[in-house]
Amino acid sequence: MTFRFMHTADWQIGKVFGGFDHDTAGLLKEARLGAIDRIGDAAVAAGARHVLVAGDVYDVSVPETRTLRQPLERMRRYEAVTWHLLPGNHDHLRDGGIWDRLTAIGLPDNVIAHLEASPSEIQNGIWLLPAPLKGRATSLDPTAWMDSAVTPDGAVRIGLAHGSVRDFGTAGETSVRIDPRRVKLAGLAYLALGDWHGVLKISDRCWYCGTPEPDRWPDNDPGHALAVQVDGHDQAVEVAVLETATYRWLKRSQRIEAAGDLNALSKELAGLELENSRLMLHLTLTGSVSLRERAAVDAKLEEFSGRYRHLLCDQAALHSQPDSEDHEQLAAMEGIGTVAARLGEIAAQEQGAQGQIAERALLRLYELAVAGGKDAER
């Protein structure tokens, strides 16, 4: 008995990207819906008739009605695929909540919301044991009931849950704990977990699939779905990791001494064979550059900002200090050299805010005196 299905989770439809410009925020939002298409396509391609969504289909507890409907319409299009949805901690089950609203709206025929902790046969001999969450946090293991869940002999029992089997610390998404021995205790052929946004294999039969579309610069490995094949309740499980992300959230730290140092990064990014418009770049610059070079760095960053979908540049650790040429240029102007020297002195001596202000003032002096003055906002 071979059973193929897609394992996905943490779609978090409706997530807003307030920290981004309006256009980018819209695209990122749309990309999360696009992930459903890619998962549906992958299911069709893999011959999987079922997609198990391990919680957090929606991001907020009170989304717009339009937001509620959007993923339903995407799923509806894949008639040959049945989508099994599970309330997670973001969209947990509650009276009048998302799931009641969905029920009121009416789910497509190929979409099943598993709102009760009870086994259901989703295919001949294949029993799904869902563990819907009824709160953001719970001290009880929502999968505990699976141990005593009654299914016919020889049934393939597949668990579907949302929570943490590891002490993920601050990176954990939920306060829901799941006993990592659940697979064995409940005789599960596979436990499909959601919550952790990167792909993570807990055991051969227990996986986190991660979110299909990243929403931040993570330290894990997001942007995937899993194609799973189960050949029987005691047979080996095959898991294939499929890429589903539209946007690549890339984090880089670069130490520079001159604007030219950014060229290497530019080349590296070009080599990713990724459309620049799909690159979300978080750049942390460190080091120290001359005033003259600082202007060039700023110019380069402006270029990056235009090239990639988004650039977040942290320059707090990038310092600007006049070199001899800067000094020469400034000293050539009556009195300016003296001012630059004094500001340089404050910047060098003061470690705190005063030092940073002096550094910024020095940079502005250079811009106004030498470069002719630039936009104060930059």
Please give the residue ranges that form the binding site for other proteins (CB under 8 A).
Answer: 14-20, 25, 59-68, 94-97, 101, 333-336, 338-339, 342-343, 346, 356-358, 360-365, 368-369, 373, 376-377
- The three-state (H, E, C) secondary structure of the chain, written as one string: CCEEEEEECCCCECCCCCCCCHHHHHHHHHHHHHHHHHHHHHHHHHCCCEEEECCCCECCCCCCHHHHHHHHHHHHCCCCCEEEECCCCCCCCCCCCHHHHHHHHCCCCCEEECCCCCCEEEECCEEEEEECCCCCEECCCCCHHHHHCCCCCCCEEEEEEECECCCCHHHCCCEEECCCCHHHHCCCCEEEEECCCCCEEEECCEEECCCCCCCCCCCCCCCEEEEEEECCCCCCEEEEEEECCCCEEEEEEEEECCCCHHHHHHHHHHCCCCCHHHEEEEEEEEEEECHHHHHHHHHHHHHHHHHCCEEEEEEEEEEECCCHHHHHHHHCCCCHHHHHHHHHHHHHHCCCHHHHHHHHHHHHHHHHHCCCCCCCCC
Nearer of residues 79 and 328 to other proteins, judged by Cβ: 328
Nearer of residues 15 and 49 to other proteins, judged by Cβ: 15
- Min dist CB 282 to other proteins, Å, is 15
Nearer of residues 7 and 326 to other proteins, judged by Cβ: 326
- Min dist CB 19 to other proteins, Å, is 4
- Min dist CB 66 to other proteins, Å, is 8
- Min dist CB 307 to other proteins, Å, is 21
Nearer of residues 33 and 265 to other proteins, judged by Cβ: 33
Nearer of residues 19 and 260 to other proteins, judged by Cβ: 19
- Min dist CB 20 to other proteins, Å, is 7
Nearer of residues 77 and 342 to other proteins, judged by Cβ: 342
- Min dist CB 90 to other proteins, Å, is 10
Nearer of residues 236 and 368 to other proteins, judged by Cβ: 368
- Min dist CB 159 to other proteins, Å, is 27
- Min dist CB 214 to other proteins, Å, is 16
Burial (0-12, 13-18, 19+ Cβ within 10 Å), 280: buried
Nearer of residues 49 and 213 to other proteins, judged by Cβ: 213
